[in-house]
Amino acid sequence: MSEVNFSKNGNSLTLSLVGHIDSANANATEERINGILAENPAGEIVIDCENLGYISSAGLRIILRLKKTVKETKLVNVSPDVYEIFDMTGFTEIMEIHKAYRRISVEGCEVIGQGANGKVYRIDKDTIVKVYMNEDSLSEIHRERELARTAFVLGVPTAIPYDVVRIEGGGYGSVFELLNAKSFAKLLASGEKSVEEIAEMSVKLLKTIHSTVVKSDVLPDVKVSASGWSDYMKGILSEKTYEKLRDLIAAIPSDNHMIHGDYHVKNVMYQNGESLLIDMDTLSVGNPVFEFAGIYNAYVGRAKTADGDFSDFLGIPYATAGELWNKIITLYFDGADAEKIALAEKKAKIVGYVRLLRHLVRAGELNTEHGAKAAEFYKKELEELVPETDDLAF
DSSP string, 129-153: EEEESSSS-HHHHHHHHHHHHHHHH
Q: Are residues 326 and 198 in the same domain?
A: yes
The string over 16-53, giving b where at least 16 C-beta atoms fall within 10 Å of a residue's C-beta and e elsewhere, is bbbebbbeebbeebbebbeebbeeeebeebbbbbeebe
In 3D space, the residue among 170, 144, 148 whose CA is nearest the CA of residue 159 turns out to be 148
Residues of the chain falling short of pLDDT 50:
none
Q: Are residues 154 and 199 in the same domain?
A: no
Q: Are residues 237 and 367 in the same domain?
A: yes
The string over 120-158, giving b where at least 16 C-beta atoms fall within 10 Å of a residue's C-beta and e elsewhere, is bbbbeeebbbbbbeeeebeebbeebbebbebbbebebbb
Any domain includes 56: yes
CATH number for the domain including 150? 3.30.200.20
- Please report the pLDDT score of residue 116 as a whole number: 65
CA distances from 9 to 5, 40, 42, 46 (A): 14, 10, 9, 11
Q: Are residues 127 and 23 in the same domain?
A: no
Any domain includes 32: yes
Any domain includes 393: no
Last residue of a domain, one of 76, 99, 122: 99
Any domain includes 322: yes
Q: Are residues 153 and 289 in the same domain?
A: no
Any domain includes 250: yes
Virtual torsion, Cα 64, 90, 103, 172, nearest 10 deg: -70
Any domain includes 233: yes
Q: Are residues 289 and 269 in the same domain?
A: yes
Last residue of a domain, one of 99, 119, 151: 99
Residue 164 sits in which domain range?
Answer: 104-177
CATH number for the domain including 17? 3.30.750.24
- Please report the pLDDT score of residue 313 as a whole number: 79
Q: Are residues 63 and 119 in the same domain?
A: no
Q: Are residues 212 and 76 in the same domain?
A: no
Q: What residue spans of 6-69 are helical by DSSP H?
A: 26-39, 57-69
Distance between CA atoms of residues 372 and 356, nearest Å: 12
Q: Are residues 301 and 339 in the same domain?
A: yes
Q: What's the domain count of the chain? A: 3
- Per 3-state DSSP, what percentage of the chain is helix, strand, and coil (rounded to 5)? 45, 25, 30
- Please report the pLDDT score of residue 308 as a whole number: 62
CATH number for the domain including 280? 3.90.1200.10
The single-letter DSSP state of residue 256 is -
Distance between CA atoms of residues 75 and 62, nearest Å: 13
Distance between CA atoms of residues 276 and 15, nearest Å: 42
CA distances from 256 to 24, 204, 209, 237 (A): 62, 19, 11, 31
pTM of the model: 0.80
Last residue of a domain, one of 37, 69, 99: 99
Virtual torsion, Cα 154, 156, 158, 160, nearest 10 deg: 10
Any domain includes 394: no
Q: Are residues 137 and 253 in the same domain?
A: no
The single-letter DSSP state of residue 109 is P
Instruction: Please answer whether residues 293 and 352 qualify as being in contact, where contact means their C-beta atoms are separated by less than 8 angstroms.
Output: yes
In 3D space, the residue among 88, 84, 86, 89 whose CA is nearest the CA of residue 74 turns out to be 86
- Please report the pLDDT score of residue 255 as a whole number: 94
Distance between CA atoms of residues 324 and 318, nearest Å: 10
CA geometry: angle at 92 spanning 90 and 95, to 5°?
A: 110
- Please report the pLDDT score of residue 1 as a whole number: 62
CA distances from 91 to 42, 96, 145, 282, 342 (A): 22, 8, 27, 37, 63
Name every residue whose Cβ is closer than 8 Å to that of residue 214 and which is 6 or more positions away in sequence: 150, 154, 256, 257, 258, 285
Q: What residue spans of 109-234 are helical by DSSP H?
A: 138-153, 184-190, 195-210, 222-226
Q: Are residues 147 and 252 in the same domain?
A: no
Q: Are residues 77 and 169 in the same domain?
A: no
CA terminus-to-terminus distance, the chain: 67
19 phi-psi bin (left φ>0, alpha ψ -120 to 50, beta other): left
Any domain includes 377: yes
